[in-house]
Chain A
């Protein structure tokens, strides 16, 4: 009897290993638990993309549930998700854009032409739909770094108190909305 049980041990190890590795096949390595989840929005003070006189701060954004969508005109996936985000906006979701400039680097003496960028942004939004209540320009990507953003597009769900509930890396679509965002929002509404 004992011998029989012992003989099954390699089989058990094999099955466990197979299950573990099989699961790994469907894992998404881009799905990273970032540090800011469950914390408040980091403090920031950044200009509006369309109007440099207007400055947005973390305090000003409090009081409403909103999505913070990190995007840029250089990013094809961002263009692809604009349609779906616009649908969400029409359903009443507030979406704030965080404009993530791809490669602006003052160390290399880069000149930044905000007028050209605005034109580019307006162009893209008029073609693909404009889901944004407004856009915050994060030229140095400092807020992006504070948020643990590794690229675009990324989307955060922030509650009334400014707490980050969801951090999604990659495009927004129905599936992601149902799986990650809708449950979190449902928990909010009493």
Chain B
């Protein structure tokens, strides 16, 4: 139990250190929120699978500082994102713009699902059609059943 409490204590103190390291001063809660969102949405151009909040690369630190300055200047979120895209290209934002090429990514999955459903519906309809069933078919079936039953008895 003591060990458990000790470990819990470690966790709590670790969380505190992290929070202190993270401290920036903001005029308002909205700006702070915006800074948080921006640093999580902007991608580090050096370590490509990290956002700039996460990365320790020099360029990520520079971008964070720039975002901070722009936020302090009262720029809107879109203005900051545009500022970064102007310099680092669309690559720097985790939300790619809709262009004739990227529209494929949105349309294609929907199209495939629609096609799949269409295919199923068509098949269902086909198999649901009432088959013509005549007396001749009936007697043929009875004949076949009788034949196989006989074979099994042997």
> B86 touches which one: A35, A102, A149 (CB < 8 A)?
A35
A173 to B120, CA, bound (A): 57
> Known contacts A150-B45, A150-B46, A151-B46: does B62 contact A32 (CB below 8 Å)?
no
A150 to B91, CA, bound (A): 12
Residue-wise interface mask of B (80-124) relative to A, using a CB-CB cutoff of 8 A (1 in contact, 0 not): 000001111111000000000000000000000000000000000
Please tell me the number of chain B residues within 8 Å of chain A, measured between CB atoms: 18
B132 to chain A, nearest CB (A): 23
Most interface-central of B45, B58, B91 (chain A CB within 10 A): B58
B133 to chain A, nearest CB (A): 26
Which residues of chain A (117-150) have a CB below 8 Å from chain B? Answer: 141, 144-150
B66 CB–A CB distance under 8 Å = yes
A151 to B66, CA, bound (A): 16
Number of A-B contacts (CB under 8 A): 48
> Known contacts A29-B48, A32-B45, A145-B66: does B89 contact A151 (CB below 8 Å)?
no
Residue of A nearest to B48 (CB): A29
Residue-wise interface mask of B (112-143) relative to A, using a CB-CB cutoff of 8 A (1 in contact, 0 not): 00000000000000000000000000000000
Tell me whether chain B's interface is mostly helix, strand or loop, or mixed: helix
A34 CB–B CB distance under 8 Å = yes
> A149 touches which one: B48, B59, B66 (CB < 8 A)?
B59
A103 to B59, CA, bound (A): 9
Tell me whether chain A's interface is mostly helix, strand or loop, or mixed: loop
- Indicate if the CB atoms of A150 and B87 lie closer than 8 Å: no
> B89 touches which one: A32, A141, A144, A149 (CB < 8 A)?
A32
- Indicate if the CB atoms of A141 and B87 lie closer than 8 Å: no
A147 to B66, CA, bound (A): 14
Would you give 26 A-B contacts (Cβ < 8 Å), ordered by A? A29-B48, A32-B45, A32-B88, A34-B88, A34-B89, A35-B85, A35-B87, A36-B86, A36-B87, A102-B58, A107-B65, A141-B58, A141-B62, A145-B63, A145-B66, A148-B45, A148-B87, A148-B88, A148-B89, A149-B59, A150-B45, A150-B46, A150-B57, A150-B59, A151-B46, A151-B57
